Amino acid sequence: MKKFLIAALAALCLAGCASVPMADAAADAEAKKFVPPADKAGVYIYRNTNFGGAIKMPVSIDGEQIGVTGGRVYLYKEIDPGNHIVVSKAENTESLVIEVEKGKLYYVWQQVRMGAWKARCSLFLKDEAEGQKGVNETKLGLTK
């Protein structure tokens, strides 16, 4: 019985929802128009599942934290053209180098999986169709 309770509690922690700062509905709707900025690149980092939702994952670009994701949350940031490093922290630290061009949008999927003590993460660059689908399944987190 004790093992069952521990397993149920662990599953609840992995499946629950994290309370992260959220942007307002108007900002979310505007970002979901998927209009690239003319002189910069737009980057979406999204978590479109509830798995590990209780675990907040800070995200940074080039060493500057831009926000925190939880289950079904995305962040949007406009950045200068060139090479950038996206970093996500959970039980592990995952990084992804992306080269971006002005006037284009990029989609980074933050995959969540089970770790030894809490959720772990991976980052993957996705194409426009898959990225927009994932972003549309989520809500905009407050982005710095």
Phi, psi at residue 119, to the nearest 5°?
-65, 150
Cα angle 35, 41, 46; round to 5? 75
| Beta carbons within 8 Å of 41's beta carbon, 6+ residues apart | 78, 79, 80, 81, 100, 101, 102, 103, 104, 105, 106
**6-63: pLDDT as tens digits:** 444 444 444 445 589 999 999 999 999 999 999 999 999 999 998 878 889 999 999 9
Q: Per DSSP, which regions of 6-144 are E strands?
A: 41-47, 57-61, 64-69, 73-79, 82-89, 93-100, 105-113, 120-126, 139-140
pTM for the structure as a whole: 0.87
The 10 Å Cβ neighbour count of residue 90 is: 21
**57-109: pLDDT as tens digits:** 999 999 999 999 999 999 999 999 999 999 999 999 999 999 999 999 999 99
Q: How does DSSP classify residue 55?
A: S
